[in-house]
Amino acid sequence: MARTEQLTLQSISKLASLNGVYMLGYAWVFGTAVWVTFFGGVIAYRALPRQQFGALQHRVFPVYFVQSILLSSTLLGIWVFTHPDVTTHISNPLIADVAQVYALGSAILAQGANYFVIGPMTSRTMFQRHKLEKEEGKAYTDPGASPEMKTLTRKFASLHGVSSLANLWSVIALGFHGLWIGNAGIRGY
């Protein structure tokens, strides 16, 4: 049975600890990743015309990627600080604390690739296709779409797929980390 604890100013002041900050940061980054990946985009896709949806995603995703990079980097820094043996064993990902470094690091790399490389290329291609649709007076799905439109559509689909996979990897890595800290805790030594 759980112990009963009386809330006091002293017990409340102890909440602002490194572990508390870590848990809030983790909840924020994982919650945002799940929302953006599985809910927010689907809702927006169903509610908005396609070109407005694309314009919205063009604005939302850079903010999402940056906050994910910053929060995951903060978590990684705190993890390494509170688990100093990871630096000694960094080349052995089978050590549990080191595996957490790899999980957080891979989330940072995936979202960094999305922010700095894949996302801008995807947006550029999407806007080129929007412009061509306007010029041709045809949607990219129109059977009479030009070969240039079909090329842009294939390029967009490829880039969007790579971006989605990188983002999904980040969600999986953060989920793995969450399952680990949920079972083993975050306390270092």
The percent of residues in the chain predicted with pLDDT above 90, rounded, is 93
- Residue 4 falls inside a structural domain: no
Q: What is the dihedral of CA 125, 130, 135, 136, to 10 degrees?
A: 90
Helix/strand number for the chain, H first, E second: 8, 0
- Residue 88 falls inside a structural domain: yes
**Domains: count for the chain:** 1
Mean pLDDT of 120-141: 97
Instruction: Please tell me the pTM assigned to this model.
Output: 0.93
Q: How many CA atoms lie within 13 A of 159 on its CB side?
A: 19
* Segment 55-98, tens digit of pLDDT: 999 999 999 999 999 999 999 999 999 999 999 999 999 999 99
- Residue 177 falls inside a structural domain: yes
- Residue 8 falls inside a structural domain: no
At 109, list the tokens: 């790399």
Range of the domain at 149: 19-184
- Residue 2 falls inside a structural domain: no
- Residue 7 falls inside a structural domain: no
The 8-class DSSP code of residue 94 comes to T
- Residue 6 falls inside a structural domain: no
- Residue 42 falls inside a structural domain: yes
* Segment 22-40, tens digit of pLDDT: 999 999 999 999 999 999 9
| Distance (Å, whole) CA 169 – CA 104 | 11
